[in-house]
Amino acid sequence: MSAAASDPGFLVLHVLRLKGFADTSVVATLAQLPEEDAVDLLGKAAANGLASRRDGRISGWALTAAGRATHGEFVRAEVAAAGVHDVIDQAYRRFHQVNNVLLTVCTDWQLRDGALNDHGVEAYDASVIARLGAVDAIVQPVCSDLGAALERFADYGPRFRHAFERVQAGDRDWFAKPMIDSYHTAWFELHEDLLVTLGIERSKESSTS
């Protein structure tokens, strides 16, 4: 059984739901659409009152209240039509079990002995990178199962792999820097994607494990 494909119009709304605020190029990249298609679909969303654009020093798109409501309806319909709720729920539970481990690893990357990590101790950094590798080994099969259920999840595994390889190559920013597609950035988005897809509120998340 092949993975269910998402409607492109839904995908642009979904990226905005996950990112909160994003420019057109980011929407196109994460929705895996040609930029001209993203421009057209964002324009249609704006015309329908589902998204709005802000221009200025920081320009980009965001969902309106109506857009968030419509997006929620699309998510529920997509999961029901594909019949993948249980698969995604099981993948989420596996993800949730290692979520705090990843957050601890990121904290230990940023701090050493209670102070900011200046990355001057190679053995310490190497040990934290090894722990990130252990997390990656756990989450990659989760990503594979998610991607086999819904196509829109298929890019998370490669994003994690790319970020981890950059860290291994010595590019420290790819561990947890927020303004790039670092490991932590992709992790946060997958976490949010799973919560949104399953209709779980963050405040009630602990009760789902």
Tell which residue, 145, 138, 182, 129, has the closest CA to residue 160. 182
Name the burial class of residue 154, with classes exposed (0-12), middle (13-18) and buried (19+) by CB atoms within 10 angstroms of its CB: middle
Q: Which tokens is 112 given?
A: 């050493």
DSSP strand E in 145-206: where?
none
Report the largest interatomic distance among the alpha carbons of the chain, rounded to a whole angstrom: 55
The predicted structure's pLDDT at residue 206: 65
- Per residue in 186-203, pLDDT (tens digit) is 999 999 999 999 999 877
Residue 200 CA, distance from chain mean position: 15
Which domain does 46 fall in, by range?
8-81
Same domain, 35 and 135: no
pTM assigned to the model: 0.92
Within 10 angstroms of residue 160's Cβ, the number of other Cβ atoms is 21
Last-in-domain residue among 16, 49, 81: 81
In the 3-class helix/strand/coil scheme, how is 54-81 assigned residue by residue? ECCCCCEEEECHHHHHHHHHHHHHHHHH
Same domain, 74 and 137: no
What average pLDDT score do residues 60-82 get?
96
The predicted structure's pLDDT at residue 204: 72
Task: Find the CATH number of the domain harbouring 55.
Answer: 1.10.10.10
Phi, psi of 178 (to 5 degrees): -75, -25
Domain total of the chain: 2
- Per residue in 88-111, pLDDT (tens digit) is 999 999 999 999 999 999 999 999
Phi, psi of 74 (to 5 degrees): -60, -45
Same domain, 142 and 159: yes
The predicted structure's pLDDT at residue 1: 61
154 within domain boundaries: yes
- Per residue in 2-55, pLDDT (tens digit) is 889 999 999 999 999 999 999 999 999 999 999 999 999 999 999 999 999 999
Give every CB contact of residue 109 below 8 A, 6+ residues apart in sequence: 117, 125, 128, 132, 175, 176
What average pLDDT score do residues 112-125 get?
95
| Rounded distance between C-alpha atoms, residue 181 and residue 186, angstroms | 6
| Rounded distance between C-alpha atoms, residue 86 and residue 170, angstroms | 39
Same domain, 107 and 176: yes
